[in-house]
Amino acid sequence: MKKLVLTIVLGLFAVSANAQSDAITKYFDKYVDDQSFMHLNFSGKMFQMIARLEFEDPAEQKMVEESLGKIKRVQVLGKDKDVDGRKMYAEAMKAIKGNDFEELMSLREGDKDIRFMIKEKNNKISELFMVMGGESEFGLLSIVGDGIDLNALYKLSKSIGMDGFNELQFLEKMDGK
């Protein structure tokens, strides 16, 4: 009887976890074929390959191996013309509501609302979700992995000149730098 109950609980957990990822995947899928949207999709294989590259700086090598090697998927969706960004922001937030996401940070900058949400599993971040909506622009970022290190991602994005993580600059102060 215990095995049956455990199997049912694990099955429900698997369906629940799958539904959570499916909500975001469905949202991306809804707009992926619309040519007016910018869409990027990076597989985990790509990050595994990058993590195996050799860097001159051992600290950078370690950071890349520890952060990128754990990423399973990155998806980006964006539009900066002819879009009701506020409506899409609300739609994206509704899609993830009740799916075990916890707000990490939110801010308003000018006419833009930006929200970072995370999902944790075993005290490790399994998904980072960022949504940005303004009067005439919209952006969405989803990073899925096993133990995503936000600080390492921020440092890596900074070192390669990627602007998407500027709002996480407070992590640098927490790291004592």
Residue 151 has pLDDT above 60, yes or no: yes
Contact indicator for 75, 28 with CB cutoff of 8 Å: yes
What is the reported pTM?
A: 0.73
Contact 101, 150 (CB under 8 A): no
Q: Which domain holds residue 15?
A: 2-174
Residue 157's pLDDT is 66
Considering its fold, how many domains does the chain have in total?
A: 1
State the CATH number of the domain containing residue 105.
Answer: 3.40.1000
Average pLDDT, the chain: 76
Give 145: exposed, middle or buried? Use CB within 10 Å, 0-12, 13-18, 19+: buried
| pLDDT for the residue numbered 4 | 32
Residue 1 banded pLDDT, cuts 50, 70, 90 = very low
pLDDT of residue 26: 84
Contacts of 79 (CB under 8 A, 6+ apart): 36, 37, 38, 85, 88, 137, 138, 139
Identify the band that residue 169 occupies on the pLDDT scale cut at 50, 70 and 90.
low
